[in-house]
Amino acid sequence: ENSRIISPSVLSMDYSKMPEQVAQLNASPAKWLHFDVMDGHFVPNLTFGPDILKGFCKLSDLVMDVHLMVSDPAKYAPIFIDAGANMVTFHVEALDNDMEKVQSLLDEIHKLGAMAGVVVKPKTDVKIIQPVLSSCDMVLIMTVEPGFGGQSFMEDMMPKVKWLVNQREAKQLSYRIEVDGGINGTTYKTAVDSGADTLVAGSFVFKGNIIENVKALLK
Ligand code: DX5
Ligand code: ZN
């Protein structure tokens, strides 16, 4: 079992107060910073490029947890590692759920010196990733449809989390299990009880007192 890590999603940050809000994250018990890369094609929203990640890296020593929601993750993973990504997760759907392609990209990310993981959308069967689990530092279970912050937590994704816990145990692996979408001061308990050890939270963290909100997810 891994100890719990909070990875606040800067998708919900107030960018007019970016340095102040990053300073709050630095002063909080969050250990990671979740950076959502959207290309306007894999998902219907557009966010940050690598130069923005470089700016965050200058302001923070938090582990940069980069979630690629892009149609060509093999192209962009090296670019974001170069910009400072410590963990890169990419969607299996972007690689046609082809586990040979997924395996090659996991290997490539490791070769470039970063941690690597895969992400599954709500409608994707998590069991398809079984062949690549031993190469994953983390598996990210989406608990909303990717694209936007502020949506409701999908509790019906918890069987995927439990399956990952069982696989990890059965195969004696050590990957982290991250959940992303709709995590707040209530829903995090359901995720943690199911076995999630890495919690992404965007709108919940950035509404009100950032430090107190991060602490609330560690109770
Ligand atoms: C959604 C992103 C999430 C998003 C979560 O596509 O992957 O990381 O920021 O936002 P909340 O926590 O508000 O659901
Ligand atoms: Zn995300």
Residue 107 pLDDT > 90: yes
If we measure between CA atoms, which residue out of 164, 198, 201, 176 comes closest to residue 186?
A: 201
Domain ranges of the chain: 5-216
Q: Is domain 5-216 given the CATH code 3.20.20.70 in the classification?
A: yes
pLDDT band at 124 (very low <50, low <70, confident <90, very high): very high
CA of 21 to the centre of ligand 2 (A): 18
Render pLDDT for 152-167 as a digit per residue (tens, 0 to 9). 999 999 999 999 999 9
Predicted ipTM beyond 0.95: yes
C-alpha of residue 76 to centroid of ligand 1, in Å:
20
Does the annotation count 193 as an active-site position? Answer: no
pTM (global) more than 0.80 = yes
Give every CB contact of residue 17 below 8 A, 6+ residues apart in sequence: none
Ligand nearest the Cα of residue 202 is 1
- 3 in a known ligand binding site: no
What is the predicted pLDDT for the residue at 2?
86
Catalytic residue among 61, 107, 156, 180: 180
125 carries an active-site annotation: no
